[in-house]
Copies of this chain bind each other. A is one copy, B any other.
Amino acid sequence: MTCTVPFTDSDRILLGHGSGGRLTHELIQKVFYPAFANPFIEQNHDGCTFSVASGNMACSTDSFVVDPIFFPGGTIGDLAVNGTLNDLACCGATPLYLTAGFILEEGLLLSDLHRIVLSMKEAAAHADVKIIAGDTKVVERGKCDKLFINTTGIGMVPAGIRIAPELAQPGDVVICSAPIGLHGITILSARESIGFKTMLKSDTASLNNMLGHLLTNIKEVHVLRDPTRGGVATTLNEIAGSASVEIVLYEATLPIPEGVKAASEMLGLDPLYIANEGVVLVILPEKEADEALRIMHRFPEGKEAVVIGRIVDGKPMVRVKTLFGGSRIVDMLTGEQLPRIC
């Protein structure tokens, strides 16, 4: 891609870019508006207005502090767009609008900011959402780490859709849409301080397109959740708690890539706790599973979707049936496995 950038390779963010004055305006006009161009953000006001039809809306907010800000498969920017979109999609919503709040460290390279903003633009275009409002703050060198991004999303929930963790019930199965552990292991290996390299890349992706098709075609979907921080184990524990059901996973079916398996063994991590950014867990009645898989397999982000477990009557917990016929209970993540994963 060729594009003319309005600054040199050595230009950096100054405190004045957060002043609200002339430098802030220049940053908005040269970097943010050209990337996010749409009639909403160009209202040039403290906020923006848009019209809605009556119905159910969903909203979700997430701040992104991932370290490093560039990693194989993505940037903090597309992660921030996809992460919030996916949270909306997991509420059964069609994502429409995002806001973006930037906290920048004095000294950040403008070219890095520009690259991140362009990755947000691409991710938003791919998912067909608009970034309609923004904010920029700058803090002194050493008072944040390069940049943090908050995205907040708004979407409409089509009539008749109700997705909620407490709807999981005995007779349901758990579908996992894609291989697990890729984002967490990629971030771990991209940290300069970890002397460890892999060929893996982050799975960051927007899931709203696939989930939209799923909800249009399958009557009864009970729960959708993306297992990000805390991984599959923590997410399923939350669901088991909300619905007061037991969730049984079959170790043999867990889609763990060889690279994730090898890295996890080396580092003493359990892939069930590793963060994912392009995976969704779909919980629905067993009779709907085949059709759901057929639909998901048509999308790149769901082509390896597989049933990994089922909901049964029992105490609220998650149990893994091991390859050798035994079983182990997997609890929520305790402590911190890897800070600043997203």
Which A residues have a C-beta under 8 Å from some C-beta of B? 14-16, 18-25, 43-65, 86-88, 90-93, 97, 99-103, 132-135, 137-140, 142-145, 148, 150, 152-154, 157, 164-165, 225-226, 228-230, 234, 238, 242, 273, 275, 331-337, 339-340
Contacts and interface: CB of A to CB of B under 8 A. Distances in A.
A338 to B, nearest CB: 8
A131 to B, nearest CB: 10
A116 B156 CA distance: 32
19 contacts: A21-B335, A23-B334, A25-B238, A45-B90, A45-B165, A47-B91, A47-B93, A49-B58, A49-B91, A50-B57, A50-B59, A51-B55, A52-B54, A59-B132, A61-B101, A63-B137, A65-B143, A137-B340, A139-B340
A20 B59 contact: no
A16 B65 contact: no
Contacts of A229: 18-21, 24
A272 to B, nearest CB: 12
A90 B135 CA distance: 16
Contacts of A144: 65, 139, 143-145, 148
Contacts of A16: 334-336
A303 to B, nearest CB: 23
Nearest to A150: B150
A92 B64 CA distance: 30
Q: Main SS of chain A's interface residues?
A: mixed
Contact of A20 (B51, B86, B143, B230): B230
Contact of A150 (B61, B143, B238, B242): B61
Number of copies: 2
A153 to B, nearest CB: 7
Nearest to A333: B21
A44 B91 contact: no
A329 to B, nearest CB: 14
Contact of A226 (B44, B46, B228): B46
Given A44-B165, A65-B143, 19 more contacts: A16-B334, A21-B229, A21-B337, A22-B331, A23-B334, A46-B226, A47-B59, A47-B88, A48-B59, A49-B93, A50-B59, A51-B54, A51-B55, A51-B57, A59-B97, A61-B134, A63-B135, A63-B150, A144-B145
A135 B61 contact: yes
Contacts of A152: 59, 61, 99, 101, 150, 152
Contacts of A53: 54
A255 to B, nearest CB: 20
A27 B48 CA distance: 33
A23 B337 CA distance: 12
Given A144-B143, A150-B61, A334-B21, A45 B91 contact: yes
Given A102-B63, A135-B63, A139-B145, A18 B56 contact: no
A339 B139 contact: yes
Contacts of A275: 20
A140 B52 CA distance: 41
Contact of A60 (B47, B55, B102): B47
A62 B142 CA distance: 21
B333 A19 contact: yes
